């Protein structure tokens, strides 16, 4: 059985920096802070994703997209 220190979640903000390239902007232990910062990036010209990363004993065991904000030029044309 694992202790609480062996497993943790972090919330990462990723920004799209090219057609298919993403870069991590920041990482937070608190979802509310990460969500507020990711939400404030909605005026950024690219897309921004908030990802929940679960780590166990120093290894990533899951990654889940929590939210995505922003549009690509193609998204705007079809909206």
Judge whether residue 63 has pLDDT over 70. Answer: yes
pLDDT band for position 27 (cuts 50, 70, 90): very high
> Percent of the chain at pLDDT above 70?
78
Could you tell me if residue 58 is left (phi over 0), alpha (psi between -120 and 50 degrees) or otherwise beta? Answer: left
Q: What is the distance between the alpha carbons of residues 37 and 54, in angstroms, rounded to a whole number? A: 20
Is the confidence at residue 2, as pLDDT, over 80? no
Residue 63 and residue 69 in contact, taking contact as beta carbons nearer than 8 Å: no
Higher pLDDT, 5 or 20: 20
8 in the Ramachandran plot: left (φ > 0), alpha (ψ -120 to 50) or beta? Answer: beta
The pLDDT of residue 79 = 42
Instruction: Say whether pLDDT at 76 is over 80.
Output: no
The pLDDT of residue 5: 63
């Amino acid at each position: 059985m694992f202790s609480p220190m062996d497993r943790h979640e972090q919330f990462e903000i990723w920004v799209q920096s090219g057609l298919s390239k993403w870069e991590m902007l920041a990482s937070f232990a608190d979802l509310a802070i990460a969500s507020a910062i990711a939400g404030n990036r909605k005026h950024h010209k690219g897309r921004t994703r908030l990802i929940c990363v679960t780590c166990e004993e120093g290894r990533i065991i899951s990654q889940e997209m929590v939210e995505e904000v922003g549009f690509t030029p193609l998204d705007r044309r079809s909206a």
